[in-house]
Each structure stands twice: as structure tokens, then as C-alpha cells.
Structure 1
Amino acid sequence: MSAAAESTHLSSLGKGDSLHQQVLASFPLCDITEDDLTQNPQLCKLLATLSQHVDRTGLTAPLKTELDKAEQKLQNQRRHWLRSESLNKGLQEMIQDHCIRKHHATIPPDQNMFYETMEKCLLVSQCIRQLDPSSTTHQDQPSILGLSTQQVMELMPLEKNVHRMKQGLPVELEKHLKKKCLSLLSYYQPEWENESEGLKTIKLSHLSAQMDKEKKRAQSVKETCRESTVLLQRQTQLYLSELIKCIQLLQSLILDHRLRIQTDLDRKKLDYFEGKFELVLQKIKTEMVEIQLDTYTVDSLSAHRKIREKLGSELKACQVEKQSVEVKLASFKILGKEFEALAEEYSRLWQEIEMKTWALKEFTQYSNK
């Protein structure tokens, strides 16, 4: 039953891309993309089911109702506070304007009495508010400077002056507020400053609605900008993901192309180096032949040939002499050690004879000179 109900519910939401778009539209604050929903279908189903119980901000219907009630209550209390605060500020401004006018012009005594009475009443009310700021103040709390509310109330002006001030206050307050509204109108629309008083009053009556309209338009533009920002962020993420995929595909294509042409490139390089090696080898052989031709001419070759023949004949004679000497040495070795000592003595005497012969020859040459 539950599976059938869930399938029926999901079919009512949409299928494929439409379901993904509805889920993304239901949760604009979630940092998820359509690829995430495609790769996680169970998460998509969960969010689609959850979207029927929560709003775009993620609040459930009961919680949203309680929040709206609390917000309305807060707005009412804020409106009440703003009303009293704006009234208090208006009265303070009226007193300040009166003080400024006293320094520039002569004020009638009744107006002086009016504003003095109003200033004293405001000061007394402020002091009372400081002594008892709320209804939840504890009774045992020490008072400020030892004062009580009754003591402060004794500073109130005379009853008749207060009564007269209260009767004239609405008119004066209306004039002051009208002056401020006209100043606001001139600031909001400077081209209306030179209009007549009646026309300004008529336009002033429509100023609140016009400002409320522009406020709603500004909020609508703000909401549109926020939705555009979310959409832009989502499109940026999608663009970056697609760009990464394109880069990966390009890298794979470059790698495959490089591997495919690397063999041909290596073979061509090998053929080039083989041809270059053969060329260098032939050049070396040519240089060697040129060097031989420059070194060995026809005359030098015949002379070398004669020298070679003479050296060959001398080598043969030396080899024959060597063989005869070896035969003699072999016969001498048969005689033993006594003949070896005699041979050494003979060799020594022969060397002395050669030295003396050389010395005699040299002496004879120098004597003849």
C-alpha cells in the first residue's frame, strides 16, 4: 500500500527532468544540482516527498503558522512602540523648535506656557518610566536616588495648565506632523516643492500608498535578485562541472592522439638517425682515404716497399742468428756452472776491451787534431 501510494505521489509530481526541476525549485536554499538528483534517485524521491510537508524555507506548516503568529504579534508590539516613540520624538522636536524660535523672535506668553507645560510633563513621564521601567519590576528593587513615583508626580505643572496644554496639543501636533510630512514629500519629490498647499496635501494623502507600492516593488526586485543569484550559482556550478568534463575529454583525446602518433614519430626519428649515421660513416671513410692518398704517394710507396723488403731480409737474418745463438747457448748450458763463470769472466773482459778500444780511439782522434 505504501509503495503504491508513494509511486502514485511521485507520478503526480512529475517524471525525469520535470521532477528534478520541481525538487530544485522546492528547495532553492539547498546546494544541490540536477546531476546530484540523477545520481541519487532515492534522495530525489525523499526530497520530492518532503516538499509536500515543508515550504521553500524548510519550515513545516504548523511551525510556519506559529512563526507567522509570533511575527504578527511582534509586528503589533513594534507598531505600538513605534507609535509611542514617534509621538515622543515629535513632542521633543516641537520643544526644540520652540526653543530655537525664542532666540529669533518674540513668542506670545500663552505659547511659552504651553511648551513649558509640555516639557515638564515629558520630563516627569520620563522620570517615572525610569523609576518603574516595566510592570515586572520587583517590589524590593532600590529606587533611584531614593525617589518614588509620588514624589516625582508632585513636580507636575498646575492642573489647569496641563488641561489647557492637552486641549491645544492635537492641533499643534497636527501642524508639526503636517510640516514634517510636507518636508518628506519635498524630499521624496523635489519637483513638488513649488506646488500649492492644497495640491501638496492631496499628494501627501497618496504618499503612503505610493511608498508602500514602491517598497513592495523593491522587495519583489530583491526577491527576484535573490532567485537570480541562486539560479546563477546553480548555472555556474553546472557550467564548471561541464567544463571539467570537457577538459577531461580533451585530455583523454590528447593522450590517445599522442600515444598513436608516438610510434610513427619514433620510427621516423630512428630512420633519420640511421641515415645520418650512415652519412657520417661514409664521410669518415672518405676522409680516411683522402688522408691516405695525401700521405702515401707513388714514390713513398716504392720507398716503403724497399724498406719493408730490407727489414724483412734483416729480420730473417736475425732470426737465423737467433737460432744459432740459441743452439750455442743450449750447448753452453750442458757444460755446467764452471763454464757459466768462465763465460761471465769472458763477457767482462770483452766489455773492458771494448771500453779501452773506444777510449784509445777517442784519444787518437784528439791527438791528431
Structure 2
Amino acid sequence: MSANADCGSVGPSLCKLDNLHQQVLASFPMCQMIQEDLTQNPRFSKLLAMLSQQVECHGLTLKLEKELEMAERDLQTQRLRWLCSESLHRLLREMVLEHCVRKHLYNVPTEDDMFYKTMEHNLLVGQCVMQLDLSDYFKQDSPPLLGLDAQQILDLASTQKDLLKTRQRLPRELEKHLLKKCFSLLSYYHPGEDEREGVKNMKLLRLSGQLDGKIKRVVCLKEKSYESAALLQQETCCYISELFGCIQILQSLILDHRLKAQKEIDKNKIEYFEAKCEIVIQKIRAEMMEIQLDTYTEDTISAHRKITEKLEAKLKASQGEKHAVDSMLSSFEFFGKEFEVLAEEYSRLRQEIDTKNWALKEFSYPTN
């Protein structure tokens, strides 16, 4: 009963630890951690679990995350306002440029020419005023650009009458231009044959929804790609750790097999070197035989044989003489020390005789 109770208590605790580790890994996806690291460091895993309640997965606190969201919303609003004004300004510039091109190709009514000239002039005035305002904002202590202020530029604007006419006509012209651009975008997005204007308008109304769906899909795919990148990084870390473990096991196996097979390898090497030495010796002998064959001809060999026979005959005669002298010496040694004294006296007398004979010969030569 106690064993079953222990097993039942251990099972839920392990499940809780696994859930805690999974929660920590999900809260910090960019950290290069695996579940084994958390298991080996339980205090560190508890610390990360406490931090996950106060910190987002990006590393920011909840308060800072809210402030960042508010700042991003404010930035998005400001960006939207700037985008609206910039888009309107670019549309007006496009209308002016199209009018300039059209004026060179076709005859344009005077009223249209006056409208676009007034619009171009006021756009230029507004751009200059904006540049002066920016220069005054960034350089408050310095003199204004070219010594001009915004009021001097505004005085160069068109008259109130021309401005009123332009403002009254501008929405219609702007609507036409926008409709033309929308139709061109529709023809690019849905290429096909020319259709009626009503059908185009219906497709144009549905185009914004389709584009929003495409944008949402792109954003969703980007988020999935980020999640996949984080998961891939985590799996890469696990793969690298497992790979290092496999490499260590392979290294240990290689060392063990190398020590066992080293004796056989050394034996094979010794046999190989012995065979190689034997081959080299046989090659040297073959070279020596080739040199002897090139050096000694048949005449040289026959002459050497005759010389050898004569030398052997002389050697035999010398050996016979040596044997006779040895026998005489052995017979002389038989007489003992007295014979040795007589032999020395005999050799001395022989030397004196030889000396006197030489002197006698010298004195007996006739003198000149």
C-alpha cells in the first residue's frame, strides 16, 4: 500500500514539473534551453517561472509592454496622418505632371490649364512654407532660411478667387484621378477583357476586402515564420547537444578499437617492412649481378682463371717451402739452448763475413 501511495504521489509531481518546464520554455522561446537544463537546475527553472509572470516572451515587463503598445498606437496614428497628407500631395503632383504631358500632346482648354497652374503654384508655396517651418523648428537660434519667413511665402499664393475656384473643382478632379488609379490597380490584380463600368465598380468594392485578406494572411505567415524560426533554433540547440554526445561516444569507441587492433596493425606493418627489405635486397643483388656481367667479359674471366691457377701453384710451392723450413726449425729446436747460442754465433760470423766480402770487393775495384 505504501509503495502504491509513493508511486501515486511521484506521478503527479513529475507531471507538474513537466508542465512547469514546458511553460518556461514556451515563455522564453528565444533562449537556447532544453528541458534537461531545467531539470538539472530546479532553482533556475523556478526563477524563470516567476519571471514569466512578470516578463513577456520578448524580455519586456508587462508595464513596459503596455507603454510600448500605447507608444506604437500613437506612432501609428501619427504615421497614418502623415501618410494621408503625403498621399494627397503625391496625387496632386501626379495630376499636375499628367496635365503637363497632356498639354504637350493635345490641346487643353484654358480653364483646365488655369486650374492646374493654380494648383501647382499653391503646392510649391505650401512646400516652401513647410520647409521654412522645419528649419525654424530644428534651428531656433539661427536666422531663417534665405532671410524669409512663412508669411512672406504665403503672400505669393494665388488670389482668393482663384483659390476658391480650385477648391471647388479639386474634389471632382481628385475623385476622377483616384478612380482611374483604382481601375488600373484592378486591371493589374484581375487582368482580363474590358468590362462594363458597373462590373468594375463591383469588383473594385470587393478589392479592398481581398487585399485586407491578403495582408492578414501575410502577417499570419510572418508570425508563423517567427515561431518556426524560434522552434528551429531550439531544435538546432538540441541537435547540436546530441551531436556532441554522439561524437564523444564515437571518440571513446575509436580509442578502444584502436588499442585492441594496434597489435595486429604493428604485426602487419612488421611483415610488410620485412617483405619490402627482402625485395630491396634482391634488387641490390640483381643490380650487382648486372654490374658484374657488364664489367667482366669472357676474355677477362679466362685471364683471371690463368692468374688464379698460377697464384695457386705458387701458393702450393710456398706452402711446401714453409713446411720444409718448419721441419728444419723443429729439428733445430731439438738441441735446446746451446744450439740457439751456436746459431746466434753462426749468424754473427755470417754477417762479418758478408761485410768483409763487401769491403774486399770495394777495395779490389780499379781506381781511375
Assess same fold via TM > 0.5.
yes
Cα distance 1:198–1:259, how it changes in 2: closer, same or farther (>3 A)?
A: same
- Contact 1:13/1:48 (<8 A) preserved: no
Q: Distance in 1 between matches of 2:152 and 2:53?
A: 63
Matching residue of 1:226: 226
Q: Distance in 1 between matches of 2:330 and 2:356?
A: 28
| Cα deviations by residue, 1:184-235 (Å, 9 ceiling, x for unpaired) | 22222323x6232222222222322222221221122122223223322332
- Contact 1:23/1:44 (<8 A) preserved: yes
Structure 1 residue 89 displacement after superposition: 0.7
Structure 1 residue 129 displacement after superposition: 1.7
Matching residue of 2:108: 107
Cα distance 1:23–1:96, how it changes in 2: closer, same or farther (>3 A)?
A: same
Structure 1 residue 106 displacement after superposition: 1.9
- Tell me how large the CA RMSD over aligned residues is: 3.9
| Residues 18-27 or 75-84, more deviating | 18-27
- Greater RCO structure (CA 8 Å; 6+ sep): 2
Cα distance 1:263–1:345, how it changes in 2: closer, same or farther (>3 A)?
A: closer
Cα distance 1:254–1:129, how it changes in 2: closer, same or farther (>3 A)?
A: closer
| Cα deviations by residue, 1:89-121 (Å, 9 ceiling, x for unpaired) | 111111111111111222222222221221222
Q: Distance in 2 between matches of 1:153 and 1:34?
A: 69
Structure 1 residue 143 displacement after superposition: 2.8
Structure 1 residue 39 displacement after superposition: 4.0
| Residues 316-325 or 61-70, more deviating | 316-325
- Answering whether residue 330 of structure 2 is matched by residue 328 of structure 1, we say no
For normalisation by structure 2, the TM-score amounts to 0.69
Matching residue of 2:173: 172
Partner AA of 2:63 in structure 1: P
Matching residue of 1:217: 217
Structure 1 residue 68 displacement after superposition: 0.5
Structure 1 residue 48 displacement after superposition: 2.5
- Contact 2:34/2:234 (<8 A) preserved: yes
Structure 1 residue 250 displacement after superposition: 2.5
Structure 1 residue 74 displacement after superposition: 0.7
Matching residue of 1:15: 17
Cα distance 1:254–1:328, how it changes in 2: closer, same or farther (>3 A)?
A: same
SS at match of 2:105: coil
- List structure 1 segments (4+ residues) > 6 angstroms apart after TM superposition: 264-271, 313-317, 352-355
Q: Distance in 1 between matches of 2:353 and 2:81?
A: 151
Unaligned runs of 5+ in 2: 1-12, 274-318, 359-368
Matching residue of 2:198: 198
Matching residue of 1:244: 244
- Contact 1:114/1:165 (<8 A) preserved: yes
Structure 1 residue 134 displacement after superposition: 7.3
- Contact 1:181/1:204 (<8 A) preserved: yes
Partner AA of 1:348 in structure 2: Q
Cα distance 1:195–1:19, how it changes in 2: closer, same or farther (>3 A)?
A: farther
Unaligned runs of 5+ in 1: 1-10, 274-306, 334-339, 356-369
